[in-house]
Every structure is written in structure tokens, then in C-alpha cells.
Structure 1
């Protein structure tokens, strides 16, 4: 959970590392963060259309509040549309992985419990997670760390259960048409009833199709706002009924106004750390 409030200049706060080559597993993005300062970090997380795994490499210095008053120390998994999540600590060093929900289903061995929740990585991966974290702390470079994570994800992806092809198709359609995807039309395209699509999608991603489509649209809106576009223009561009509709959606996902999202430190690192979003990476 890597930025610091209220600074917007990510380079002044963090040393950010990214893989030197493209990953082999579709739908996965990785970045490494090391704080340049010993000052405490207290950061609001902006929801994102991917499951985020934050691997703590600093001996438990990273703590994550889950929005319900719970505190999680060490490595965590932040589910889709998790509202009110905050990261805080000192001397933070962590490796973040963003997983498309299509990939997360197989890799994490969990889906329904990852809609709007924060869980310990150890709870999902057990001893395998502990071994991987030990290897990461012992690694000599970020590239070595990225290779270790990629190998661990590839093993689990191969052994895990893939999402239904219909679910993968619906997810891609949501990404391609933010604000325009309609559940009834998508169900008809895959030959399912609306009820079946709703049930299978929620079971395998943790969100209902409607909520997932809203999350994708919110993400596009948040990044347009951060790029300096007005709320009125953003609302008109990506399918909101009006500016008030945009305001309500931003409040629902981020807990703040569009003006606050536009200057959110969480988004300030995106151009450096996440040049290719996980949910768009070959999924």
C-alpha cells in the first residue's frame, strides 16, 4: 500500500521498481516499493478492478486497516471493491501484485471471499506463502523477487481451477465497454440466464456482475479525474447519467468526493508502477 499523503510526487516518496521484462502469466502486474523516508505512511487505498496482493518485506512494518475496524499485519490480499482500506507503517518495503479476477480465482484459491475484504496471505497460501515470503526477503534484487513471485503464481495457476470461459468473456466485455455493459445482454451473449450469470460471476470473482461493471467504470473515472479532467466531462465521457451520478459512485467506492479522488496519492504512482494495468494485461 504504497504512497504517502498528502504528497503527489511519488518519486519523492518511493523508490519504485518494475520488472525488466514482460511477465509470462496474463492478467498479472507487479511493482516493488521502498520508502525513501522513515516518516510514517498513512494511505487511503482507492479501489481498483484487480485483486491486490501486498507482500511485506519489512518484518511486519506494514499494517492494513480493512475498513471495518480490523487491522492486518504483514502480507495481505485486498479484494475487489474493498472500501475504507488504509495502509500504514514506517520504513515500508513491499512487493505488490495486481491480479485480474480471472487469474485470481485460480492463483489465490479463493474468490467469493475476496469481494470487498482484506485477508492475510498466509490464510490463503499457508506454508507455501510463508516459504515464498522467506525467498523474497533473501533475494538479492527486485528482478530476483519478481521471478520468485512469477514462478509461485505460475505454479498455483497451473494447479488451480480456472474461471468459466463465460465469466472470462463477460469480464473482458466489461473492460472493453466501461459504463455500457448490461448484465442481461452479456448473459444472452454467453447463453446463460441472468440468474445463472449473476450466481457464477459472484462465486468466481467475489462481486456481482453489476458491481463489477460499476467498479470498472469507477476506475476509468478516477484516473480521468486524476489526469485533470472535470467531473462533468468525466461523467459525460463514460456513461454516467449526470455529474451527481458520478459523485454518488465515487462516494460509494472511495468514500470521498471526486475532487478528493483527483488528488489521491494512491493514484499518483500509477504511471510509474502500473504502466500496463493487470486487468488489461492480455486478459
Structure 2
């Protein structure tokens, strides 16, 4: 399944395939993961400022925070809480989709925020056909191409976000979450109330919560890169270390030290170009 793609071995435990330039989509990142061990992996999904589409062709599953619902293909919304990825023989396509793109592709809105939704719930029979095409693909690049076709079709058929909403989101990302909502409203020419309402309906979070998520993401990757929490808090826009601690716990349910060791972030620098100077060995068991 690996011919034709860029493949990297992460500490002998994960192979990571990356898409060729020809199959990439603006606002979207894709990667393929295959475990190189038969030991059971159980890792918390760390919130990220994008929706994550996943399709597993092995025995990998994403389980909700209550442990009552699991799926091998679906979409994890923004700020997913305690969702976990589990499996012994994982062979998974992951697609990270900017909320600006997701609004058209999924019709994502407030009701989708933080949710874990199966592809069948979103697309019905079309999801089944897409999965079948991915199963039949002869390489990761073919799988990426199927995903690209699906995303581009959704973008062309779905509603675009308001330019004002897109501007507010891009400013949040550009400034790593350290923005004032009132200032964003002034830049767009909208009232704070209107921006709040339209942003939430199209992105799935309020502007304040979205900015917190973007800030948390940068802080989490700096923690994972080995920086001390006091330093991260001081340079990431938090009032103090306690403020960072509270926000990390609000998004993940764990401490900054636990986030720094999160298995979910171990391959970020390889798959998504984020986080670590070098991927650590994943802890499995």
C-alpha cells in the first residue's frame, strides 16, 4: 500500500505517508498512519483548531469521552473533549480541515462543535462509496486523491463562510489566538453581537472560544517541544501559569505536564510539520 508516497518511519513504530503536491488542497492537511507494532495503542485526542476526518482500514477506532460510542470512520469536531484513539493494527487516513473549508464540506456549525460524527451520518450512501474507493486504492497517493476529490466537490457545492468570519478566523490564527473580539468586530465593520452570532453558526465555536483553542494549540506544541509551563504561559498570552493550567485542563481534562507527554502529539512534526524538533518514541501498552 505504500508505493508512490512520501513515507517516513517514526522511531520504528509508525510509518507516516504524506500527499504529493498534486493532491493537496488549500486549508487541508492529509497524512496516512500505519502502526509498526502489534501492541495496543490507547491515546487521548488532543484538541486542534481544525476538524479531523479519519478513516481506518485496520482495527483503529476513535472512542467518545464516555466510552459509549466508537467508529472507524468519521469526523471529530473542534474541541472534542476526551475522545480517544485506540487500536492494535492501525492503518489510518487523517485529514485536518480548516473550519473555513469545513463549513462548505460538512455544513459544520454550532451543532457540530466538539462532536464525533460518522461519515454515514454526514453523507449517507456517498460515504459508503468513498470508503469503498479508499479500500480499493493501490497506494496512499490514491487514497489522498479520493479524499481530495471528495473535499473539492464539497467545497464547490457547499456554502462559503462570510468574508468577515473568514477574516476573524485568519486573524486568530495569525496572532496565535491573542486577539480581542471587539477589535475583530471593528475590523470587519460588524457589531460584536453580529460577529459572535455568524462566527458561531459557521465555525462552530464562539470567537472567544475559538481564539482560546488556537492559543491552546500553540501552547500545547510548545509544551510538547520541551518548554517549561511557566515560560509557555509567559509568552503565549496567559495571565500566569495557573491560567495556562486551567485552560489546558478545560480543553483536555489533564495537566500541562500530561499534555507535554501526549502520544497524540508525537508524530505532529512529521505528519503536520508542527511541534517537536524530532519525534519521540511513542509509548504504547
Matches within 5 A, 1:185-200: 185-200=183-198
Find the partner of 1:108 among 88, 106, 109: 106
Q: For 1:144 and 1:168, how far apart are their aligned partners in 2? A: 31
Q: Could you tell me how far 1:65 is from its partner in structure 2?
A: 1.8
Q: What SS does structure 2 have at the residue aligned with 1:198?
A: helix
Compare relative contact order (CA 8 Å, sep 6+) and give the higher one, 1 or 2. 1
Find the partner of 1:141 among 126, 139, 142: 139
Q: For 1:179 and 1:140, how far apart are their aligned partners in 2? A: 41
2:268–2:274 CA contact under 8 A, matched in 1: no
Q: What SS does structure 2 have at the residue aligned with 1:12?
A: coil
Q: Could you tell me how far 1:222 is from its partner in structure 2?
A: 0.4
Q: Deviations over 1:18-54 (max 9, x none)?
A: 1122645211000001111222221111100000001
Partner of 2:46: 46
Q: For 2:170 and 2:29, how far apart are their aligned partners in 1? A: 17
Partner of 1:237: 235
Point out the more displaced range, 22-31 or 236-245. 22-31
Structure 1 stretches lacking a partner, 5+ long:
1-8, 278-283
1:57–1:133 CA contact under 8 A, matched in 2: no
TM-score, normalisation: structure 2: 0.90
Q: For 1:192 and 1:245, how far apart are their aligned partners in 2? A: 30
Q: Deviations over 1:170-213 (max 9, x none)?
A: 00000111242111111111111111111111111111100000
Q: Could you tell me how far 1:93 is from its partner in structure 2?
A: 0.9
Q: Could you tell me how far 1:62 is from its partner in structure 2?
A: 2.6
Q: Could you tell me how far 1:276 is from its partner in structure 2?
A: 6.9
- Paired residues, what number? 267
2:200–2:206 CA contact under 8 A, matched in 1: yes
TM-score, normalisation: structure 1: 0.90
Q: For 2:20 and 2:96, how far apart are their aligned partners in 1? A: 17
